[in-house]
């Protein structure tokens, strides 16, 4: 189980620049493996294929010892989500499009295991609050507007004022994982 926090970059900026800054924040090096590919559309009973118009993902591969998995969702030379964010012509019942996310140029996603704890004692929520604040300051220096959202909070926020909520939400998620999920997994493994 993981904490996922998204930063919605509202103004135009090069996705490669944001990826480099995000990698600096999570401690990636030039040896960190990454991918830059168009998202696949998954169909029931079929193999996923990229389709024209699908967003792209520039992101690190998992299991490299980084504090967070970093993904940047973008469209080449266009906003990720335009202001009109309704269903496309091919949407139908069970549509899984991200229609509730804000219109933005890029979406930056940080993903960290609930059980994360660094040498300073920070947990996943503390880490994500720090990552959002650091990326936010970097974007502010470039006069680029941004919003953020954590999956445990289910609200979109602007600025820094609500970041302490992310710390407490991350702690609550970690506690839930330790007291509910982990014991169930351990009990199942023993049986």
Residue ranges covered by each domain of the chain:
2-190
Give the per-residue pLDDT at 153: 80
**∠ at Cα 121 (115, 125), nearest 5°?**
55
Token pair belonging to 132: 């959002």
Tell me what pLDDT residue 89 has.
Answer: 41
pLDDT at 50 over 90: no
Q: Give the pLDDT confidence score for residue 38 in this predicted structure.
A: 87
User: Which comes out higher in pLDDT, residue 48 or 152?
Assistant: 152
Query: Structure tokens of 63?
Result: 């299991």
Residue 176 pLDDT > 80, yes or no? no
Q: How far apart are CA 146 and CA 136, in angstroms?
A: 7
- Helix spans in the chain (H): 15-26, 124-141, 163-176, 182-190
Looking at residue 158, the DSSP 8-state letter turns out to be E
What mean pLDDT is predicted for residues 38-44? 66
Q: What token pair was written down for 19?
A: 């990826």
Q: Higher confidence at residue 67 or residue 41?
A: 67
Per-residue pLDDT band at 34 (split at 50, 70, 90): very high
CB atoms within 10 A of CB 20: 12
Q: What is the pLDDT of residue 179?
A: 59
Q: How confident is the model at residue 181 (pLDDT cuts 50, 70, 90)?
A: very low
Tokens of 171: 């702690």
Distance of CA 32 to the CA centre of its chain: 18
pLDDT of residue 48: 57
Whose tokens are 């930056």? That residue is 108
Residue 98: the pLDDT is: 52
Task: State residue 147 phi and psi, 5-degree precision.
Answer: -135, 165
* Average pLDDT of the chain, as a whole number: 82
């Amino acid at each position: 189980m993981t904490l996922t926090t998204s930063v919605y970059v509202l103004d135009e900026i090069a996705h490669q620049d944001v990826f480099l800054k995000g990698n600096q924040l999570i401690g990636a090096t030039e040896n960190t493996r990454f991918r830059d590919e168009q998202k696949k559309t998954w169909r029931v009973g079929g193999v996923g294929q990229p389709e024209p118009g699908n967003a792209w993902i520039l992101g690190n591969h998992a299991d490299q010892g980084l504090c967070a998995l970093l993904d940047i969702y973008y469209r080449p030379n266009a906003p990720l989500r335009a202001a009109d964010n309704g269903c496309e012509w091919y949407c139908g019942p069970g549509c899984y499009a991200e229609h509730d996310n804000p219109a933005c140029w890029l979406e930056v996603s940080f993903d960290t295991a609930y059980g994360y704890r660094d040498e300073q004692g920070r947990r996943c929520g503390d880490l994500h609050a720090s990552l959002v604040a650091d990326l936010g300051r970097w974007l502010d220096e470039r006069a680029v507007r941004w919003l953020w959202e954590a999956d445990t909070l289910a609200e979109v926020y602007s600025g820094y004022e609500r970041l302490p909520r992310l710390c407490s939400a991350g702690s609550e998620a970690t506690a839930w994982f330790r007291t509910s999920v982990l014991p169930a997994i351990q009990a199942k493994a023993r049986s």
